[in-house]
Structures are given as C-alpha cells and as structure tokens.
Structure 1
C-alpha cells in the first residue's frame, strides 16, 4: 500500500530578503510543508518567469495527529521523566535535593525511591510539571535513585525516570 504524503501549502508574502546584509524586495511566495521528507529543513528558491521572482519552498516534517484518549480508555502519551540531583556527591547528613521534571500539563505525584534497598524517600505532588524532594538521611554508600510518576492526568500514562547514582561519603 502506498502511503500518500500529507502536504500543506500556505501562501506567504515576503516583504524583503536579506542578501549580504542588504534588504531586497521579494515576490509573493508559497511555502509547502511536506511530511514525506522527515529530514528536510532546507529552503529552495525556484525562479519565476524570466528568472525573477518565483516561489520559496520549505519542506519540514508534519507529524501525524495524536488521537485524543477515549473516555474511560487508556492515556495516549507516556511522558519522559527527567531526574536530577542537586549534587551527585554529598557527605553523610548533608541535604540533597532530587528534582523530577515532567511535561508542564502533567498532574499526579512522584514517588522518589532509593533502589539500593527499596527505600521510599517520599511522595510529592507534581506542580507545573515539577516534583522536588530534599533529604539529609542518606547513609554512607552508593544510592540508586529513581522517580516514579503516578499520573492522574487524562493526557499521560504513569512513567519512571532513568536511575541516577547518588554517592554519599563520610
């Protein structure tokens, strides 16, 4: 089966082109957005009649539309959960802050877990796409921290971050 490319052509009016720092008058042009060229991001000038004027074409990928979740159905997007430590190496008793970043529209909570023993550091509500926890109770050792997002949003699935290493020295 041949997939038909999706193309969107929009007339645009260019008032000037900059060539070597000098503004030049430009003709009315058409911009075509073509999804069949996912790596395209180039501009081409196509000369018009008599070698002057013409069309300007920019081909860029057009992603397929994301379907909205059906009521009672599964969510459509699994978000990326980025986890960072305020300092990857700390001393015993020194506070360290772990920050989980999600899409701004994400709602729910994040459970911060030390995978080197399964200890839950805490559960924090997501606010504006961010959940943050500070602790000073990590022991002298290597700790493997993960953020586990529990979604309450109809837009996002629950997800978890990559594990980061937190080194605590004496």
Structure 2
C-alpha cells in the first residue's frame, strides 16, 4: 500500500479488553438496526495523539472503564485495514475515508463489572455489553470487519491466558 493510499483510511485504535477469566468485552452498537452485531471498543485517533493514550481515551468514552483498571498486555505490530461496504461510502466520518486503519491493543481489565458504564460519555455507542469467549468474536461482528477480528484473535491468542 502506498503512503497516499494509507491516508484514505481513518486512523483508529481497537481494544480487546479481557477479564480475569480470559473473556473479551463486546458491546452492541446503539446505531446498528440491521442485525444482532457486537463489537469490541474502537475509535478514532486525534492528530498527534499517542496510540496508547487514544486507546485509553476511547475505552473510557465507550465503556466508562478508567486507566487504573487496565493493564496493557500487547499491541499488534501492524495496523489492520478494512473497507466500508458500498452502502456506507460517503456516509461516515464526513465522507473523507473509505475505511479504517486500526492499531489493536490487548488489555487486561482488573476492575469489577460495576466499573463498566456505557453511559459514561454524553454520546453512548453501546446499548448492551457482555463477556464472550474470544474465539466467538469473528462471528459477532458485522461481516465487513470479520477478517480484522480473525486477525486480532490470532494475533493475541498466545497472550490471552491470565498468567
């Protein structure tokens, strides 16, 4: 991919947050009326923002989880890309991007379920949440992000134990 092509993708961070049992957090998006799709927290990176700080910020906005309840375990070495389906072109992110390029983090959640607050931000993104086996993640996400989730699960597999 050329450097110019890279800028056609919105810079983003994604987080696989796991609990003490090795289960991954997923939320059901408020704005998805088309199906029963669940996703891990993700969001845009501001210009000049450190990726780890962007991840912590986005996680707090989407889940209410604060930094003191997190341990960063690993970051995938390469960014992962996905393209939006045709029906979404021009409708998201001001029409500036054809997809996202994502830096993915694995974090261990050391808090309790009561530390999760989907309404912590003035614009909630999730209406429900649950803990799931990481192997189920690709089945839960919208189809156009499935390959990314398969890569994320494979990339973090060796780090998922609670050692």
Q: Normalising by structure 1, what TM-score?
A: 0.24
Identify the structure with the greater helix proportion: 2
Identify the structure with the greater strand proportion: 1
Q: Normalising by structure 2, what TM-score?
A: 0.25
Relative contact order (alpha carbons < 8 A, sep ≥ 6): 1 or 2 greater?
Answer: 2
